Amino acid sequence: MNIEQVIEVRGLTKKFGNLVAVNNLDLNVYRGDVFGFLGPNGAGKSTTIRMLLSLIKPTSGEMKIFGKSISKDRKEIFSKVGAIVEKPDFYLYLSAYKNLEILGKLSGTDVSKKKIMSMLELVGLDKRYKSKVKTYSHGMKQRLGIAQALLHDPELIILDEPTTGLDPQGMKEIRDLIIYLSKEKGKTVFLSSHILHEVELISTRMIIINKGTTQVEGTVEELLKTDKVKVTFEVDRIEEALRAVNESSWQKGFKSTSKNEINFDLTKDEISGLNKYLIEKGIAVSAIIPVRSLEEYFLKITEGGSK
Amino acid sequence: MNTLIIIELQKMFKKWRTYIGIIAISLLAIIIQVALYFTGKNMIDFQMRGIEQSFVMVGNLLNGYFIARMILTLLIIHIPFLVVLVGGDLLAGEATAGTYRMLLTRPVSRLQVISAKFISGFIYVVVLIFWMALLSLGVSLLIFGTGPLLSIGSGIVIFAENDILWRFLGAYAYAILSMTTIIFISIIFSSLVENAIGPIISTMAIIIVFLIISAIPVDFLQSLKPYLFTSHFTQWNNFFNEEVDYREIFESAGILLAHIAALYGVTTYIFIKKDILS
């Protein structure tokens, strides 16, 4: 593959005493990816992110960013990385502007008023730039977290739960911003999120980890395509519909029924086929309701289902 | 590195706790100056009562130097309490606020970060002692004028006016060294915990325990005294002896410098190896 590998992790392990937080983890992020990093609580996501950002020393394993070792070329690497790690924390006794100025100086970037104000404007905080951060809501701090991560125009952006605490409009804005950064600016985004729908909407590749170990890694499209999803068909005449299903090959996808609903396990391609079949049998289908495909897939993987 | 130090100082001087020491020193100096302005003559008369019949005293004994010496003697014991308020917060404050995550994911090394913390702690000590010197010596000279310095220790010594200033400069410089040792102790504790209260209390506890050990007249404890850093804090007093014992001053200064170097080295090692979990 000719695509440049931005993050390369091999056999990464972190032990806290007897507790193995991350166990022999492998991970690959390529340039331009919006890489979804998924796992249940306690799966080792935050520990992995902290190791990638050199906040925690790994027990063993190798990590490279931009093809360089984090332990040896830390400064060079972090001049091209922006990050939010867990909740956004700032110097509460300083203004948003001053916080960005300090963090910008540490990153060796332009800290002109124009630059800082443009970042604050991007995240909708320009009107409160003089306010001390202690007066900010959690959502505002989250936005400021995004601003500080983007301030030095990094090539790789590591975002740990970036939409936590935001209202639906704010969540959409951050999602749109991530898509914009990826598609228009060519940034690579490493996105850890609990919101599976979010990952499904914006990620190009993803990994699911559990108990510190890689469960699956690949493109979102490929991973979801190979698996069946739960679909509910809402019909007008339930008994006739059930009879039609039982008389056909669709019976093998049948799972359960309730009131005027029939539940199936189907691939995406099969959904339209079953719809067509029921209509041909004179049964009106008023709704086809898919259970979120990634949610279903995630639960299957993390609850010990097939790889 | 300069950028980091400037940033550390900006953060430090934007915090309320940084001014507690400066305000406390200002208040105490002013109170002492006001009290001596009204009752200082009685105090001088009382101290001179034993020798006034044998010697003729001329000149202004209640002068700025006398006041400054008194303030230095009274405050130097308490400045450690003020210094650790800032030192204890230097690293633990970042952990409490969760700002380590922002700070240490920038293209700066941990060695640079910890060194900037130590240097800013040292600068704070210099500012505090300079402020004390300015208020106690500078302002007292303006209010009370100059004159010979009456120094009462094991005996009474009176220094001529042109033989005083350098003694104060030496004493203040030594005070900076002593307080730097204190702030460095609080920084090492600060690197171990996530709350500033612990380092402040721990540092004070060490100073109090060492001072108590030094004061107990038991042979074994007295034999430990030269090894306790607190025994070397008061060498600044040596500058107000008729014959300054430079050998003693340099020995004590060497011991304090060794403490400073060791504290910096150990804290840096701890900080570089530390997992940031806050």
List pLDDT tens digits, range B99-153: 988 889 899 999 999 999 999 999 999 999 999 999 989 888 888 888 888 777 6
Residue A275's CB is within 10 A of a number of other CB atoms, namely 15
Task: Answer with the residue of higher pLDDT: B47 or A198.
Answer: A198
Closest in A75, A87, A94 to B98, CB measured: A87
pLDDT, tens digit, 9 for 90 and up, residues B81-91: 889 999 999 99
Q: What is the DSSP string of A30-88?
A: ETT-EEEEE--TTSSHHHHHHHHTTSS--SEEEEEETTEETTTSHHHHHTTEEEE-SS-
pLDDT at A170 over 80: no
CA–CA gap between residue B101 and residue A301 (Å, rounded): 31
Residues of B in contact with A55 (CB under 8 A): 100-101, 104-105, 275-276
Closest in A50, A89, A106 to B98, CB measured: A89
Q: Which tokens belong to B135?
A: 């208020």
User: Could you state, in order of their start, the residue ranges of all structural domains in chain A?
Assistant: 5-224, 228-302
Asked if the Cβ–Cβ distance from B107 to A56 is below 8 Å, we say: no
Closest in A83, A85, A94 to B14, CB measured: A94
| B55, burial (CB in 10 Å: exposed 0-12, middle 13-18, buried 19+) | exposed
Residues of A in contact with B273 (CB under 8 A): 57
Closest in A54, A89, A108 to B99, CB measured: A89
pLDDT cut 70: percent of chain A above it? 94
Closest in B7, B100, B275 to A102, CB measured: B7
pLDDT at B5: 93
Tell me which of B9, B105, B110, B113 to substitute to probe the interface with A (most A C-beta atoms closer than 10 Å): B105
The CATH code belonging to domain A5-224 is 3.40.50.300
Tell me which of A15, A47, A55 to substitute to probe the interface with B (most B C-beta atoms closer than 10 Å): A55
pLDDT at A305 over 50: no
Cβ(B178)–Cβ(B236) below 8 Å? yes
pLDDT band for position B54 (cuts 50, 70, 90): low
How many residue contacts between A and B have a Cβ separation below 8 Å?
74
In this structure, of A89-103, A261-275, B109-123, B188-202, the range with the lowest mean pLDDT score is A261-275
pLDDT at B265 over 90: yes
Closest in B4, B11, B106 to A107, CB measured: B106
Residues of A in contact with B3 (CB under 8 A): 105-106
Residues of A in contact with B11 (CB under 8 A): 91, 94, 102
- Chain A touched by B207 (CB under 8 Å): no
A228-302 CATH, one of 3.30.200.20, 3.40.50.2300, 3.30.70.100, 3.10.270.10: 3.30.70.100
pLDDT cut 90: percent of chain A above it? 16
pLDDT at B97: 86
Q: What is the least distance, in Å, from the CA of B128 to any CA of chain A?
A: 22
CA–CA gap between residue A114 and residue B173 (Å, rounded): 44
Asked if the Cβ–Cβ distance from B14 to A93 is below 8 Å, we say: yes
pLDDT, tens digit, 9 for 90 and up, residues A214-265: 877 777 777 766 566 778 889 888 888 888 888 888 888 887 888 888 888 8
| A272, burial (CB in 10 Å: exposed 0-12, middle 13-18, buried 19+) | exposed
pTM: 0.81
pLDDT at B57: 66
- Chain A touched by B273 (CB under 8 Å): yes
Asked if the Cβ–Cβ distance from B276 to A50 is below 8 Å, we say: yes
Q: What is the least distance, in Å, from the CA of A102 to any CA of chain B?
A: 7
pLDDT at A252: 81
Q: Which residues of A touch B (CB under 8 A)?
A: 50, 53-57, 74-79, 81, 83, 85-87, 89-94, 98, 102-103, 105-108, 148
Residues whose CB falls within 8 Å of the CB of residue A258, separated by 6 or more in sequence, listed in order: none
Residues of A in contact with B106 (CB under 8 A): 78, 103, 106-107
pLDDT, tens digit, 9 for 90 and up, residues B6-44: 999 999 999 888 998 899 889 988 998 888 888 877 777
Residues whose CB falls within 8 Å of the CB of residue B64, separated by 6 or more in sequence, listed in order: B137, B140, B141, B142, B143, B144, B145, B146
Closest in A56, A78, A85 to B106, CB measured: A78
CA–CA gap between residue A298 and residue A293 (Å, rounded): 8
pLDDT at B79 over 50: yes
Cβ(A243)–Cβ(A257) below 8 Å? no
Nearest CA in chain A to B95: A89
pLDDT at A116 over 50: yes
Q: What is the DSSP letter of A128?
A: G
Q: What are phi and psi of B160, to 5 degrees?
A: -70, 155
pLDDT, tens digit, 9 for 90 and up, residues B205-221: 988 888 888 888 888 88
pLDDT at B117: 94
Q: What is the least distance, in Å, from the CA of B184 to any CA of chain A?
A: 23
Paired residues of A29 in beta bridges: A7
pLDDT band for position A7 (cuts 50, 70, 90): very high
Residues of B in contact with A65 (CB under 8 A): none
Average pLDDT, chain A: 84
pLDDT at A306 over 50: no
pLDDT band for position A273 (cuts 50, 70, 90): confident
